[in-house]
Each structure stands twice: as C-alpha cells, then as structure tokens.
Structure 1
Amino acid sequence: MCRYNETEDEVLIQRLRAGESMIADYLMEKYKGLVRKKARAMFLIGGDTDDLIQEGMIGLFKAVRDYQPDRETSFQSFANMCIDRQIYSAIKSSNRQKHQPLNTYISLSDREMEENLRDSCTEHDNPEAILIDRENVTALKKEMKKSLSSLENQVFQLYIAGNGYVEIAEILGKTPKAVDNALRRIRKKMKRCF
C-alpha cells in the first residue's frame, strides 16, 4: 500500500477504474482518520460515535465509488462532502425511538459546523429554520463553555480532535480514569445545556 503514497488521489481513482482494486482499500485506510475526526466532532448525547463512524465510512465508500476525476473538485473535497452528507443523512433519517441519540446530535467543531450547515442544505430546507439552528448551536456552545471547567475544556478539545483516553491522559499528565470522569461530567453538563 505504501507504493500509492506518492500518487495523487485523482490519479489513483483513474487507476482504480482501470482495474487496480487494491487502491480502494488504500483510499479507505487513508481517509479513515478523517471519518473518525468528523464522527467525534458530533457529540451524541447519551450515544456512541461508532454509529457515526460507520455512517462516515459508508460516505467514504460512496466517494471512492462515485468520484469523477474529470470534475473540477479534488477527491479530498468530494470525500469530505460525501462523509458529511452521509452522517447528516443518518442523523436526519433516524426518527425511530431506538435511534434517539442520533436525533439529538450537536456539532461542536466551529469551522466544520459552518461548512457542514452550508453543505447539508437542500432546496427543501427552510432558511429561517437553518438560521434558528445556527443561533441555537451558538448559544449552546456559549453555555457549554461557561459550564465546563478548564480541565473539562482541555479534555473535550483533545477528544473531538480524535485522541483516545490514554492519549489525552498522557498529554495532560492525568490518569485515564480522570479523563473518563471528565468526559462523563461533560456529557452530563451537555444534557443539562441541551
């Protein structure tokens, strides 16, 4: 798989279409970290990021399958859009009670949130509802920032950046149990804010 590192994604897609099936595995592995980061940026109240990672991987698969190199967008941009849309689509379509955590997501990634809101709009979305949603997310972020301690803010930022409990503990000089406790407090505070 290392032999693909030097080649641009767009060229790899053309080679994939020509029959080099191993390239699909390489691209899925290459962008798996991006999927995890996006899934972790969605804070699921009482939920698990595994569902969103799975949905993001489906979006990545669709990007690999559907990307057209002759278009004026890079594969990375196209993959970003496909991953975002798959995650948001899963959240929107999960109306049944057993998927309740997916119905109560909150995006906590500042830059990505704005891009995702813009990208996820369709002609059926109401501009007024989108504006209200943005205001609600902004208010929630302010409230959350006020209610989290300094340690909780640090843990939270490292967590949504994709670090695991052990990594966060090492970075902050804390025990994994202290990190776990901080994340539990963050979830409780988020439920109250929400």
Structure 2
Amino acid sequence: MDLREEYTQLTDEQLVKRYQDGDQAVLNFICEKYKPLVLKNSKKYFLVGGENEDLIQEGMIGLFGAIGDYDTSSDVTFFHFAQLCIDRQMIKAIEASNRKKHSPLNAYISLYDEDGTELEEPASIADDPAEIIIEAEENLGLIDRLKAVLSPMELQVFELYMQDLDYKEIAARLGKAPKNIDNTLTRIKIKAKSI
C-alpha cells in the first residue's frame, strides 16, 4: 500500500497528528483534501482591491495554521477547527484591505506649522481637502457598485485595468486575445456609464 492509500484510511485528526509527529509528506495530502473547503469559503467574501486568488491564498495560510495548531486531544473536529481558521484568515485579510481605503485620512498633510501658524498652501493640495476625501469615498462607492454588476471575467479585467495595465498587457496576463480584452473593457465602460 502506498502512502496516499494509507492516508485515505486515516481520519483527519489522525492525519494532523502524523504531521505534528514529523510526517512531512502528509501535509500535501491534507492541503489537497481541504482545498475545496478553502475555495468554497473564498466565494463568501470579497477583497477590496484584490482577487479571489488572494483570498484563496489567505485561506490556505489559515489551513496551514490550523494543521500546526490543532490540539489532537480536543473534542472539536479538525474540520470545524480548520474551517474557523480559514475564515478568520480571510476576514483578517479583508479587514486589512478595508483599512487601506482610509489611507487619505491617515496620510494627511498639515496646513499648519509646528507653532500653529498657517502655512502657504502647497501647489499639490486642492482648495478643500475635505472635498478630496468626499470625492474619494464617492469613487469607492461607484467602484463597488460597478463591481457588483460585472461578470467574473469583466471583474478580472477591471482589476488589472485599475492597476494601470493596458488591454495588451491584460491579455498577456490572462492568456486571452487582445481583441477579447478590448471588447470586455468596452462592456465595462458601458456598465460604468449606466451607473
């Protein structure tokens, strides 16, 4: 009997115990077994400025942590413990991503000197910093509404387009014909105009 057949005969708790006891080969088996759970859980969440693959990667990190941290003497099944760890890791990534959208508030430039005297307005600052923040928040709202109506392919193309890639670079990244990407961008622009 080869190792894979042997592993299929064991419970998840026994598999994890073997890994914790030093059987490194069992790690790949556990990860393959639990990857469908990670994929399923990743569909419940949305990562601002990221892709589903980012959430899947975070979920796999959570799974790896669960494998190392699971207490084999616990009454909780490994499945439920792993599911909790996977979800928590994805939620942490989402919360970290959401904090970044508030960076205009966290990276402000003071209009006053250390002694409280007003500085001359730098050329790069607009007339009203509050307007900049309000406009940025409105743009985030529009982007979220647009993402909600995009197909999975359109969403992928949109995310890459927002990274300042042109349609040829996007096509190369996604392994698609440039004309397909150009057509997809046109559909995205039509949907954006309707919003």
* TM-score where L is the length of structure 2: 0.49
Structure number, greater radius of gyration? 2
* TM-score where L is the length of structure 1: 0.49
Give the helix-richer structure, 1 or 2.
1
Structure with more relative contact order (C-alpha pairs < 8 Å, separation 6 or more): 1
